[in-house]
Structure 1
Amino acid sequence: TLLRLAASVEQLSTHILARAIVDAAHERELVLSLAGDFEENFGKGVRGRVPLINEDQWSYQLSTNNEHENAVAPDTAPEISTAKEVPEVSVAVGNRTFMLQLGIALPPSLVAEREQRTALGQICSFVAVDGQIVGLIVLEDIPRAELARLSPDLKREGIQQTVLLTGDGEIVAQQVGQAAHIDRVVAHCLPEEKVRVVQELVNQKHRVLMVGDGINDAPALATATVGMALGTQGLTAAANAADTVLLSTDILRVVTAVQLGRRVMRIALQGIWVGMGLSAIAMLFAAFGYITPAAGAILQEGIDVIVILNALRVGRFKVKANK
């Protein structure tokens, strides 16, 4: 039930951890409710009001304990409507900072549990129901084996430095960074801090490619030289801020996108210089009377066809094999 309530709120978020919680609920075939009064504090947590269902008896009991204690006497009780209203509870899911902002006290036992889990490289989110902490959701980010190819493949394509900007803790960030052979890792990174790091690189005259997968990354995507939105969820804000969109959620496709971009630019420049060069030579011959106007027009059409045929080579793009 705790997972169902948390996932009902998280399903409205675009954060990658929210997707993991929702996926876990779907795997267990839990019925999610549509949360109302939804609010998201980017990088910190979410909250909303979730309608209860029959399986949520403990939650309903939690929210009605005080009501039973303060019940009025039968002779003074107001008339009760026969219409049944669906009970709701306020659900908040997020980190310690988010809970403190909401004025929710953190039980020492769960705080200690969180410290133990984060020391193992796991990610923890507190869950509060009606202003009381009722549990801890633990997630573990297991890097895929092929992630080790990411940074080396990018460097083969001319990328000089790779930087990981993440809101995860230091331990998790370093684990992912080592698995992907990232040059620089910045942990506990909120959206505004991502913008600051990207802006610093831009100010140092670097051409920055920023890859992000959610609304949290939108400001940094807009700041970078080239912003690339990754994945199909949350693309309303990210895609508007980005220069290009990859519909796949596979981070390794970024390498393919860089390869394709470089090939397109190379062929485009070839078309420009070949077209201008042949046209200039033809104009010189025409100026000295070696080419008649009619022949010059036909020759120009031939040059255009050559440039077009050269551009069609982009369609024969194949992903480079990893060495």
Structure 2
Amino acid sequence: MSQPTENRLKIGLLVLALAGFVVGLTLQLTGRAEAAAVAWSIGVLPVLAALVVEILRSLMQGEVGLDIVAALSMAAALAVGEAMAAAIVAVMYSGGTFLESYAEGRARREMHHLLSRVPRVATRYRNGGLADFPLDEIEPGDRLLIRQGDVVPVDGTVASTVAFLDTSALTGEALPVRLADGADAMSGSTNAGEAFDLVATRPAKESTYAGIVRLVEEAQRSKAPMSRLADRWSMGFLAVTVVLAVGAWWFSGDPVRAVAVLVVATPCPLILAVPVALVAGLSRAAHFGVLIKGAKPLEAMARIRTMILDKTGTLTDGRPRIVSTETHGDIAESEVLRYAAALDQASKHPVAQAIVAAARARGLALPIPSEVTETPGEGVAGKVEGHDIVVGGHEFVARRVGRVPDYPALSVGSVLVAVAVDGRMAGHLVMADPLREEAPQLVVGLRKEGIRRVLLATGDRAEVAERVAGGLGLDAIRAGLTPDQKVLLVLSERKNGPVMMVGDGVNDAPALAAADVGVAMGARGAAASAEAADVVLLVDRIDRLGQGIEIARRSRRIAMESVVVGIGLSFMGMFAAALGFLSPVQGALLQEVIDVAVILNALRALRIEPLHDSSLGAAARDRTGSIGSS
């Protein structure tokens, strides 16, 4: 049965039960008791029949649920002539299932919004004009027009001067992001500015947005361990309910007491609060850019005691950046950078592209180079505005210009780029992979969330790893690790409690899969790591992980609070009914009030606001790492 059909059936049953109850109550108040009993029974029977069908279907699948208690209470109430009590149970049970469905639908609204935004066509330049094409016909290299308000259909690079993208549906960032020419644009973002051109880099089925949609669908299909635990507990609760009902009947000789016990136990909050709270937690985490692939990883996140962090792209930014500029002679720093970036436009080397990005970020106009020759792995030479420019490693440039000044001292893990203008050494660009500005904030936040051990695991050299992690207060640094050694580290750390592994590269995928919870940096990470991980950070900020853990723990706590309080009140009501203090009608009203209360309490997970700590020391902003393997 489809979800819309199932929802319509629930609404129909609720309307029938409510109509029967209202008509019966009206007849009862006018002194027509027999007609009232008939009206109540008519309202109960459709609900009871649908419930019996659902129970039989569950039994055929080997599942025993607490719906049996609801069916027993309605059937027993009708059998002993307590039609009004049966009608109340029918109204409140059908209303409770409808409320549960509504609550879960509300909790998933952000995920459904994400799915509904999938674009179907893209506007492509073709033969000097524009035409709409189905997404599956878009190929890498196609030039697309993204109009204002359009959803970016595929991953690509901006091919206009500037683009403003709203990434809130993907990352939770409230303000539009400004992207310069050549910057990467994620599919699923919305154009918040003027129209711009985009050059596709991936087919639609391999784009960021398509991958996220697949992860969301997987998350929605998942079932949490707590929900399975509720299924196992249902047998025990059912047994206690039946024994207590039969015992009340046996010792009192009054079958009405047994009915009262049954209606108080219908339906148990155990099957309502857990899924609502956890699904709400999934939705809330997605709002902050933390995509959790189901309720099982969410629960596991709430129990994490050890965190293992990859270095490059995780603890560090993962992209080389200019950290200082040394000039020789009377040439300005900005000119050294401008000449270097202008020539490097012709190179695809990551360091060259980082220099180009740095120049554009500073607003420097970059002329088009000419007569460019590139020596792979060493450097580039060519002409810029009539000047002979050479950019590359110090030794490469030195061979081209003869005697040169000594190069500046380098810290561990840094890269030196020399720049020569017209046969003279003009300057050096010192580049490094900087520590993420939010990394110290993350470590402090993890400690506050009860993470006992935080480790760094990297394939880079030990001296580089120690420089990066210095002052962060980590419990251990493991350097020079191969992928299988990272897996062994994860397994060995399990003795200290559940382990979370955070990484972004293909080499991290085995460790992510081995960990109790694997987290991938999805904004720029490898597809393999995102597939292997249980959690994907959609925004390129490591501190969002702390927020995700906090949401997971608070969601689980809300679910457990609802279960404990709901079951406790149910048992109190059942004992009161067994002792004759509650009639079936009173018991039915009491239990359904409890059920509604626990659902509403579980929905508190939708309003979780993670704590934010923006205090970062100056030392954290100055610390840099390496451009190395991880």
TM-score interval, normalised by the smaller of the two chains: 0.5 to 0.7
In the alignment, which residue of structure 1 is the partner of 2:453?
161
AA aligned to 1:149 is: Q
TM-score (norm 2): 0.32
In the alignment, which residue of structure 2 is the partner of 1:274?
565
Distance change (3 Å), C-alpha of 1:297 and 1:235:
farther
In the alignment, which residue of structure 1 is the partner of 2:444?
152
Q: Distance in 2 between matches of 1:57 and 1:238?
A: 37
Q: Distance in 1 between matches of 2:544 and 2:317?
A: 23
In the alignment, which residue of structure 1 is the partner of 2:463?
171
The answer as to 2:605 corresponding to 1:290 is: no
The answer as to 2:532 corresponding to 1:233 is: no
**CA drift at 1:58:** 2.5
Give yes or no for contact 1:147–1:179 (8 Å, CA) kept in 2: no
Q: Distance in 2 between matches of 1:31 and 1:19?
A: 22
In the alignment, which residue of structure 1 is the partner of 2:488?
196
Q: Distance in 1 between matches of 2:462 and 2:493?
A: 22
In the alignment, which residue of structure 1 is the partner of 2:498?
207
The answer as to 2:312 corresponding to 1:20 is: no
**CA drift at 1:19:** 6.3
1:120 to 384, 407, 411: 411
Q: Distance in 2 between matches of 1:239 and 1:58?
A: 38
SS, match of residue 453 in structure 2: coil
In the alignment, which residue of structure 2 is the partner of 1:187?
479
Distance change (3 Å), C-alpha of 1:22 and 1:142:
closer
Give yes or no for contact 1:214–1:235 (8 Å, CA) kept in 2: yes
Q: Distance in 2 between matches of 1:269 and 1:28?
A: 57
Distance change (3 Å), C-alpha of 1:290 and 1:21:
same
**CA drift at 1:215:** 2.1
AA aligned to 2:566 is: G
Q: Distance in 1 between matches of 2:409 and 2:593?
A: 66
**CA drift at 1:221:** 0.9
**CA drift at 1:244:** 1.7
In the alignment, which residue of structure 2 is the partner of 1:69?
none
The answer as to 2:473 corresponding to 1:216 is: no
Q: Distance in 2 between matches of 1:158 and 1:274?
A: 25
SS, match of residue 162 in structure 1: strand
1:234-273 matched pairs, under 5 angstroms? 234=525, 236-273=527-564
Gaps of 5+ in 1: 1-10, 34-53, 63-90, 94-108, 111-115, 126-136
Percent identity between matched residues is 36
AA aligned to 1:185 is: I
Give yes or no for contact 1:271–1:307 (8 Å, CA) kept in 2: yes
Give yes or no for contact 1:123–1:168 (8 Å, CA) kept in 2: no
AA aligned to 1:261 is: A
Distance change (3 Å), C-alpha of 1:229 and 1:305:
same
Q: Distance in 1 between matches of 2:487 and 2:451?
A: 20
Larger radius of gyration: 2
SS, match of residue 163 in structure 1: strand
Give yes or no for contact 1:143–1:179 (8 Å, CA) kept in 2: no
Cα deviation digits, residues 75-118 of structure 1 (max 9, x gap):
xxxxxxxxxxxxxxxx789xxxxxxxxxxxxxxx78xxxxx999
**CA drift at 1:144:** 4.4
The answer as to 2:603 corresponding to 1:312 is: yes
AA aligned to 2:373 is: W
Distance change (3 Å), C-alpha of 1:268 and 1:291:
same
How many equivalent pairs are there?
232
In the alignment, which residue of structure 2 is the partner of 1:80?
none
1:58 to 373, 380, 383: 373
1:124-135 matched pairs, under 5 angstroms? none
Give yes or no for contact 1:118–1:124 (8 Å, CA) kept in 2: no
Cα deviation digits, residues 221-245 of structure 1 (max 9, x gap):
1111111222323453223222222
Q: Distance in 2 between matches of 1:301 and 1:117?
A: 75
**CA drift at 1:31:** 6.2
SS, match of residue 140 in structure 1: strand
TM-score (norm 1): 0.60
SS, match of residue 542 in structure 2: coil
**CA drift at 1:194:** 1.1
Q: Distance in 2 between matches of 1:235 and 1:57?
A: 32
SS, match of residue 141 in structure 1: strand
Distance change (3 Å), C-alpha of 1:118 and 1:275:
farther
AA aligned to 2:442 is: L
1:82-93 matched pairs, under 5 angstroms? none
Give yes or no for contact 2:317–2:433 (8 Å, CA) kept in 1: no
Q: Distance in 2 between matches of 1:32 and 1:294?
A: 80
SS, match of residue 264 in structure 1: helix
AA aligned to 2:511 is: A
SS, match of residue 591 in structure 2: helix
Distance change (3 Å), C-alpha of 1:187 and 1:56:
farther
Q: Distance in 1 between matches of 2:371 and 2:604?
A: 60
Give yes or no for contact 2:438–2:541 (8 Å, CA) kept in 1: no
AA aligned to 2:560 is: L
**CA drift at 1:319:** 2.4
**CA drift at 1:167:** 2.3
**CA drift at 1:139:** 4.5
RMSD between superposed Cα atoms in Å: 4.0
Give yes or no for contact 1:174–1:185 (8 Å, CA) kept in 2: yes
**CA drift at 1:158:** 0.4
Give yes or no for contact 2:320–2:434 (8 Å, CA) kept in 1: no
Distance change (3 Å), C-alpha of 1:117 and 1:316:
farther
In the alignment, which residue of structure 1 is the partner of 2:264?
none
**CA drift at 1:195:** 0.9
**CA drift at 1:57:** 5.0
In the alignment, which residue of structure 2 is the partner of 1:47?
none
AA aligned to 2:484 is: E
SS, match of residue 274 in structure 1: helix
Q: Distance in 1 between matches of 2:604 and 2:454?
A: 30
Distance change (3 Å), C-alpha of 1:182 and 1:119:
farther
**CA drift at 1:206:** 2.0
In the alignment, which residue of structure 2 is the partner of 1:49?
none
